[in-house]
Structure 1
Amino acid sequence: MRRLQILLVCLLAAAGLKAAELKSPNGNLVLQADVKDGCPVYRLDYKNRPVIKESRLGLEVKNEKDLRSDFRIAEVHTSAFDETWQPVWGEVKDIRNHYNELALTLEQEETGRTMIIRFRLYDDGVGFRYEFPQQPNLNYFVIKEEHTQFAMAGDHKAFWIPGDYDTQEYSTVTSKLSEIRGKMEAAITPNSSQTPFSPTGVQTSLMMKSDDGLYINIHEAALVDYACMHLNLDDKNMVFESWLTPDAIGDKGYMQAPCHSPWRTVMVSDDAREILASKLILNLNDPCVYEDVSWIKPVKYIGVWWEMITGKSSWAYTDLPAVKLGETDYTQVKPNGKHAAHTEHVKKYIDFAAEHGFDQVLVEGWNIGWEDWFGKTKDYVFDFVTPYPDFDVQELNQYAASKGVKLMMHHETSASVRNYERHLDTAYKFMVENGYNAVKSGYVGNIIPRGEYHYGQWLVNHYLYAVKKAADYKIMVNAHEAVRPTGLCRTYPNLIGNESARGTEYEAFGGSNPDHTTILPFTRLMGGPMDYTPGIFEMRVSKANPDNHSFVHSTLARQLALYVTMYSPLQMAADMIENYEPYMDAFQFIKDVAVDWEDSRYLEAEPGDYITVARKAKGTNNWFIGCTADENGHRSNLTFEYLEPGKKYIATVYADAKDAHYEHNPQAYTIRKGILTNKSKLTLAAAPGGGYAISVIEVTNPEEIKGLKKL
């Protein structure tokens, strides 16, 4: 078979055949690749419907002949691959990696340079990348721009955020592609660091829906040693083109052959649920590089955090207008009385975590330097090892250990990446010495070195450097304000979470749209899990801070559902612990819900409207179901055929009350219990901005169901 394949390649090359065709394993997707007028092109069809019309490929190289013209096809190679692998943690226990591959070897006639474009076609989409083999005429080169096109087949409905080199913390806009230009100015809301670049530039993961019912998603996979890709729209022709994040002098990538770009991905289906269930991006990443992964564990945590976000408390120990690390003597200054990260307060959180079965307690604002870091672009702000006088590191870690709880470290870098790398080994050693095994890092503000952007090649390399260095110390990383994920958690599973989007904190900064959590799984979560920080029970922020009149755009029942619909192996009960006390019956779901899964079923999905998910807890026969809905609410007719036949289950349903509403009655909910089997049916309604959550626990003792009726 191998000899026949080689012979076929040789015959194709000898015959000068240019066009190549590749079908997905199930035949629904067809990819065509060719060279026209010296430029590589491709197109993609799904069930005989155009997804990507003929689009050009290539790169513009600084001070050299570009890599998008004067090419001919030197070789065509096809192959197939099929394996099943197990993630360290994930939505499912087993992932199938099944694709057909086409590799076009292109030769540039004038220069003799070679470039390979490799396509991997799955049943749910395609990934392709540029590869540059080692060769005499292409060694070091600088990318001026990548010119990968995605020519759309229509003026699709799109779910987009503004293209920006520094932030993804925008509210998603839903519009036609042709409307992006007119809506861009209003979409660019303030942020601590932002650099929008075009009136039609948007970020990936970009979700779209065609008029004839195709769901299309564009993103990238395995972003390593390369700049983050955005998309710039030619809105006259409906053609997106890649737009890389530059460095401080405007260059977009420094390459040395042999090397390759990240994968450019297009997912497509006529069923929105298949987009959510896709593992294409994970599959395009390399396998796990660690031999020992026993130290990497999913985490459910609480934290000293929301009270600072609301403005009730302070990260800073004093109200000094300015401090200098190593020069300010905190023992000689007056505390402001609002500092939250003090020993006795943290002990209360440790007690709560121990009582209710949480793994860890995050504490922000524990270390010196918080007084004047924000917006100052200071190089030397934090040393990541020196606590404020009221935070006793040793005592707290001993206290936490005695309760079977760990503390979670917080490293706010203030975007001074040079300073963080300067201290990184010392900071990680300090964590190990004091019992920490997980860190939440942050990159708020404009990047230092000055002029660099959050999503440029230099910063992309830094984020991965921090993750790999953390692995040397068996530390898990949850990076905030970092580049959005592209599936690297498969290769480096200690990258247990990211923010990289508009999380729950924005509910205290004016609020997010009620459709926000019905869109994020289709966009931001395509590349990896998000530390969204759900679980807010007190929706009126003024209850914590009378000067803050924001409110959380959600019902309480939907806050429970987010633990299922917003997949993450890192889940926080984000509210202040005192806000859970009046609602401990509802809080039970947060205590019960798993953070690692054996199976996941997307039951209903429509981007911007609703998502309903059922997940089976790893190593058990228990399921958890969640539904999140937009401002119009949603009605579900549920069946349970995925439950094991012949078994009985106790279902606890946490639902919106009939009069619940995210604006005027968010805390109205009902709880009821009953018996389920795989033949059961259930109708539930999610209120406007609401949802529901269900725990489905296998009956192991007949006594457990005495007095319960079928739901």
Structure 2
Amino acid sequence: MKQFIKSISILSFLLLLSTWVAAQELNSPDGNFTMDFLLLEDGTPTYQLNFKDKAIIKSSKLGFELKDDAQSLLDGFTVLESKISAFDETWKPVWGEESEIRNHYNELAITLKQNETERIMVIRFRLFNDGLGFRYEFPQQKNLVYFVIKEERTEFAMTGDHTAFWIPGDYDTQEYDYTESRLSEIRGLFEGAVTPNASQQQFSKTGVQTALMLKTDESIYINLHEAALVNYACMHLDLDDTNFVFTSWLTPDAVGDKGQMQAPRHTPWRTIIASDDATDILASRMTYNLNEPNKIEDTSWIHPVKYIGIWWEMITGSGSWAYTDEFPSVQLGKTDYSKAKPNGRHSANTQHVMDYIDFASENGMDAVLVEGWNVGWEDWFGHHKDDVFDFVTPYPDFDVAELRDYAKSKDVKLVMHHETSGAVRNYERHLDQAYTFMNDNGYDAVKSGYVGDILPKGQNHYNQWAVNHYQFAIEKAADYQIMVNAHEAVRPTGLARTWPNLIGNESARGTEYQAFGGSKPNHVTVLPFTRLIGGPMDYTPGIFEMDVSKLNPDNQSHVNSTLANQLALYVTMYSPLQMAADVIENYKRFPDAFQFIRDVPVDWQQSQYLEAEPGHYITVARQDKNSGDWFVGNVNGTTERTTTVSLGFLEKGKKYEATIYRDGENAHYNTNPQSYKIDSKRVTAKSKLKVRSAPGGGFAISIKEL
């Protein structure tokens, strides 16, 4: 009996020793974060993340379930090698929220060997002062060459029933309003959070999308996302709402596979940004830092864009993309428009576009977006039609050459619109011809769209196949020196660092939904914590007339925002591509308010996040990269509040003029949205401004040196 106990004790000691040997610790440069890597007794890799000596991610498993393989990459591993290194650089983005970004981290690379199969897998961790990024790497090897992912099994084990700001997990859309709830409440609220969309497919009653924003009861803010999504399926999160553990859930292809892999290969980075100050989440550049450096050698043709567009009138239903109402169907290259009767509502006609070019020129705008210029809009949606547009043939009332020359004479660019209707193969067949057409006619930016189900049937907007298409379009555009603003594409993951011609994405519920029934008034206080973590959004702000029926009596929608809130969005919703989205007639009604849109830049020297609470308020100050002027924006949730803005970011010893665009005394997003006041004050770095924000309101301030 004693010998048996002695043997068990020795065995336990050896197991403990082997576990201890496999344990590795990594600290952030400032010491606030600690990451522990550990192999369990069965060889399962795990990690844990602490912030200021408190766990924010409990012990969480790592690995993969493979298809048609008895031995998945989940357990049975031993550590072959571990390497710790450090990195510190400062790089300059082509455009951005600041002119320089520091990339500073400590790295731990764990090389694992699965004993039974002799397969090698590397897990690389990078710990920054703002959080953790990690990815899987599969080196060149004989025993793992081609393989199919059945599911990635990365876990994010929460420490409690946190508050979450979430949208339903969906393979085809992110265009949902955010729900604020406890993790334990997601299942019960899920069906109510799903609203109609042109293409959608949920996978679980507790499935949510990244970037996911969380807040603990101890007021620790945690953001879960991914970085550098290339040649891989977009990651969602599926919640075990009993134990509060999220597990990665990849978007499948047409046959249900989650990833076609060939070593050597690596996955995107899985990211955890955390802080006890919400403004640090907004200030984090970790997602960009986990992407590769810029691959475009000559970036002189890439530039921020402030634009207006022939768009809102069609979104509200007062105008039309289609030229005629006579054709029940259209066949590409075979339908004769020369004899068709115009419907009288087609917005993209030559004279109307000229009016917008004139307005842009008079008000210092860079460009005009024109949608509905090309043939095919009479029969473009819902029929799973592959060859719907050719992206080069205009309607009879849209004179390409005349508008090209007129825009050039006014020093204004036209922005091309490519709606694919989800017919991805058709778009790729026409891309070279379409981009050549753009080069020939002076278009240097394109808004692409992917409305509806992806073709071929069975593919999704966010699977590996579609992700590869979006990347192909971006890289092909770079060959033609064209900037891309992709709508309905996969959410961004910092790739604009590598491909800075990707100057915008939609990939979330934008302003257009204000004409489709409205969005929550606090929607814009959540988006910077979620969707914008991966890159800028073409949110299309600047609506001045909140009663949509004024444009279209058949549309009773209401824009849930005050006018001052709309101005603030140009500062709080960062993008190098900013649209003045309303019709020009409404801007002419409020010329004093429109002055802020004229003045506000779209490229910044530096940004300071003055206060923030997801779902409630955000106040941001940014300095213009060119003039040195400062601009402040505040967006507010549903509760009236007063903000004290300390102007310590101004240069000491200098005097400035602050112009404050604020909510009127009785302003309210629903009952009195167009009530606003404009004040001017002399200020210095010692000044403090107290400004009230109405429900769904906010304020915008321009500060110029005297």
TM-score above 0.5, yes or no: yes
Write the distance in 2 (CA, Å) between the matches of 1:145 and 1:611: 37
**Contact between 1:610 and 1:634, CA under 8 Å: does it hold in 2?**
no
Q: What 5-or-longer segments of structure 1 have no aligned partner?
A: 1-12, 700-711
Match for 1:59: what amino acid?
F
Range with bigger deviation, 73-82 or 519-528: 73-82
> Would the aligned equivalents of 2:105 and 2:127 in 1 still touch at CA under 8 Å?
yes
2:271 aligns with: 265
Question: What residue in structure 2 maps to residue 523 of structure 1?
Answer: 530
Measure how far apart 1:374 and its partner are: 1.4
Question: Who is 1:45 aligned against?
Answer: 50
**Which runs of structure 2 are paired with 1:530-679 in the superposition (5 Å)?**
530-679=537-686
Out of 29, 32, 38, the residue aligned to residue 34 of structure 1 is 38
Work out whether residues 160 and 173 of structure 1, in 8 Å CA contact, stay in contact via their aligned partners in 2.
Answer: yes
Counterpart in the other structure of 2:199: 193
CA shift for structure 1 position 619:
2.8
Instruction: Provide the residue aligned with 1:493 in structure 2.
Output: 500
**Could you tell me which amino acid in structure 1 is paired with residue 381 of structure 2?**
F
Question: Using the alignment, how far apart are the partners of 2:181 and 2:688 within structure 1?
Answer: 36
Contact 2:220 2:277 in 1 (8 A): yes
Q: In structure 2, how many angstroms separate the alpha carbons of the residues matched to 1:632 and 1:516?
A: 13
Does 1:97 find its partner at 2:103?
Answer: yes
Aligned length: 687
Partners of 1:675 and 1:519 in 2: CA distance: 33
Q: 2:133 aligns with which of 102, 120, 127?
A: 127
Deviation (angstroms), 1:49: 1.4
Letter in 2 for 1:403: K
**How far is 1:16 from its partner?**
7.7
Equivalent AA in structure 2 for residue 39 of structure 1: T
- Indicate the percent of aligned positions where both proteins have the same amino acid: 67
Residues 542, 566 of structure 2: 8 Å contact kept:
yes
Q: Quick check: 1:246 aligned with 2:252?
A: yes
Deviation track 1:140-166 (CA, whole Å, cap 9, x = no partner) reads 111110000000001000000000000
Deviating above 3 A after TM superposition, structure 1's stretches of 4 or more consecutive aligned residues are 13-16
2:112 pairs, out of 84, 106, 112, with: 106
Deviation at 1:485, TM superposition (A): 0.2
Any idea what SS the aligned residue of 1:155 has?
coil
**CA–CA distance in 2 between the matches of 1:631 and 1:82?**
42
How large is the RMSD of aligned CA atoms in angstroms?
1.0
1:280-310 alpha-carbon deviations (Å, 9 max, x no partner): 0000000000110000000000000000000
1:23 correspondence with 2:27: yes
Q: Distance in 2 between matches of 1:374 and 1:482?
A: 17
Q: How does 1:89-488 map to 2 (within 5 A)?
A: 89-319=95-325, 320-488=327-495
Give the deviation of 1:74 after TM superposition.
Answer: 1.0
- SS for the counterpart of 2:132 is strand
The alpha carbon displacement at 1:633 in A equals: 2.7
Deviation at 1:650, TM superposition (A): 1.0
Q: Determine if the alignment matches structure 1 residue 54 to structure 2 residue 62.
A: no
Shift of 1:676: 1.1
Distance (Å, rounded) in 2 between the aligned partners of 1:237 and 1:388 = 58
Q: Deviations over 1:98-145 (max 9, x none)?
A: 001011110000011110000000111000000000011111111110
The letter of the residue matching 2:657 is I
Q: State the alpha-carbon separation in 2 of the partners of residues 469 and 682 from structure 1.
A: 48
CA distance in 1, matches of 2:579, 2:165: 26
In structure 2, distance between residues paired with 1:35 and 1:129: 17
Is this contact kept in 2: 1:535–1:559, CA < 8 A? yes
Q: Is the 8 A contact 2:19 2:38 kept in 1?
A: no
Cα deviation, 1:357-376, whole Å, max 9, x if unaligned, reads: 00000000000000021111
- The aligned counterpart of 2:8 is none
Structure 2 CA distance, aligned partners of 1:518 and 1:294? 34
Q: Which amino acid aligns with 1:247?
A: D
Name the residue aligned to 2:10.
none
Deviations 1:295-326 (A, max 9, x none): 00000000000000000000000112211111
> 2: CA distance between counterparts of 1:101 and 1:447?
39
Aligned-pair distance for 1:351? 0.2
Please report how far the alpha carbon of residue 14 of structure 1 lies from its aligned counterpart in structure 2 after TM superposition: 11
Equivalent pair of 2:34/2:50 in contact (CA under 8 Å): yes
For residues 195 and 433 of structure 1, the distance between their equivalents in structure 2, rounded to whole angstroms, comes to 40
* Contact 2:77–2:113, Cα closer than 8 Å, also in 1: yes
Partner Cα distance (1:217, 1:380) in 2: 41
How many angstroms does 1:15 deviate by? 11
Please give the per-residue CA displacement for 1:650-701, whole angstroms capped at 9, x wherever unaligned: 11000001110100110000001121110011100111100000000112xx
Say if 2:19 and 2:39, in contact at 8 Å, map to a contact too.
no
Query: What is the one-letter code of the residue matched to 2:148?
Result: V
More deviation, 315-324/276-285? 315-324
What is the match of residue 504 of structure 1?
A: 511
Deviations 1:529-568 (A, max 9, x none): 0000000000000000001000100000010000000000
**Contact conserved, 1:408 with 1:436, CA < 8 A, in 2?**
yes
Structure 2: state its 5+ residue gaps. Answer: 1-16
Alignment partner, residue 705 of structure 1: none
Alpha-carbon displacement from aligned partner over 1:374-423 (angstroms, at most 9, x marks no partner)? 11111010000000000000000100000000100000001000000000
Secondary structure (helix, strand or coil) at the match of 1:387 reads coil
Q: Secondary structure of 2:22's match?
A: coil
Q: Report if the CA contact (8 A) 1:518-1:628 is conserved.
A: yes
Q: Which amino acid aligns with 1:83?
A: E
Determine helix, strand or coil for the equivalent of 1:366.
Answer: coil
CA-to-partner distance for each residue in 1:503-537, whole Å, 9 max, x for gaps?
Answer: 00000000000010000000000000000000000
Residue 17 of structure 1 aligns to which amino acid in structure 2?
Answer: V
Secondary structure at the residue paired with 1:440? strand
The AA in structure 2 aligned to 1:375 is G
* Structure 1 residue 620 displacement after superposition: 2.5
Q: Tell me the distance in 2 between the aligned counterparts of 1:362 and 1:192.
A: 23
